[in-house]
Amino acid sequence: MQKLARSRGCFSDNILSIVASSRIIPIIDVANGFDYRKLLAMYYDNGFRTIEVRMNSPYVKQLVDIVQKDFPNTYIFAGTCLSTQDMTKARHLGLDILISPVFDPKLMEFCCLHNQPYIPCVNSVESLNIALSMGFSVLKFYPAEKYGGVDFLRKVYKDYDVRFMPSGGITLEIIKDYINEPNVAACCTSHISPLKLQEENNWTDIEKNIIRAAKILLETSEA
């Protein structure tokens, strides 16, 4: 597990253990006809052992099947869980942790009732307070760049006993700024293998981005 900058209380749970050991979590979505097996292999060969797949992707089952069969010891997060139906589907697929891009107490209650590992979304002090009152200590901060970015994380650091997983607008140029914050466990990003590069079949730039992200991952792991 990645050593956190400071112990902040109840962070020995399995969710934090997985998230904090990941540090950079690629969001995997694939364009029509794209070779996603090759993409997954490229991530795996460069040391990535946690990915996020979108539950609204038409290829989610194929992606999950390939990861579970061919890439052992890889955690799969279920992103874009917008309803209890999405969550039920994710559970049936055997995904490790569920994530939402919206703040919805009903989804938090559903996961509590079903003992499902879940990272709810917050983007304000108000939503942060509600999530904390419901017992959640690892939170998705989304869309991070739109709602204050690193400044928001610094604003709430001293008063809130939580760890964040920021996402939304976080490019490779700024991802290190987020990871270096002491209340950040990991960052999720779709900017490593974006759909635009996939649609162009631009494997050169995709590989460059993955190698660059892997270097940042190694640097933050050694820090």
Does pLDDT of 101 surpass 90?
yes
3-state SS track over the chain: CCCCCCCCCCCCCHHHHHHHHHCEEEEECCCCCCCHHHHHHHHHHCCCCEEEEECCCCCHHHHHHHHHHHCCCCEEEEECCCCHHHHHHHHHHCCCEEECCCCCHHHHHHHHHCCCCEECEECCHHHHHHHHHCCCCEEEECCCCCCCHHHHHHHHHCCCCCEEEECCCCCCCCHHHHHCCCCECCEEECCCCCHHHHHCCCHHHHHHHHHHHHHHHHHHHHC
Does pLDDT of 7 surpass 70?
no
Evaluate whether 189 touches 25 at the Cβ level (below 8 Å): yes
What is the structure's pLDDT at 222? 64
For range 81-97, the mean pLDDT: 96
Does pLDDT of 183 surpass 50?
yes
What is the structure's pLDDT at 8? 41
Does pLDDT of 114 surpass 80?
yes
For range 111-129, the mean pLDDT: 94
pLDDT tens digits for 12-51? 468 999 999 999 999 999 899 999 999 999 999 999 999 9
Does pLDDT of 6 surpass 80?
no
Does pLDDT of 189 surpass 80?
yes
220 versus 110: the higher-pLDDT residue is 110
Name the token pair of 209: 């981005």
Quickly state the pLDDT bin for 206 (edges 50, 70, 90): very high
Does pLDDT of 5 surpass 90?
no
Does pLDDT of 115 surpass 50?
yes
Query: Is this structure's pTM higher than 0.75?
Result: yes
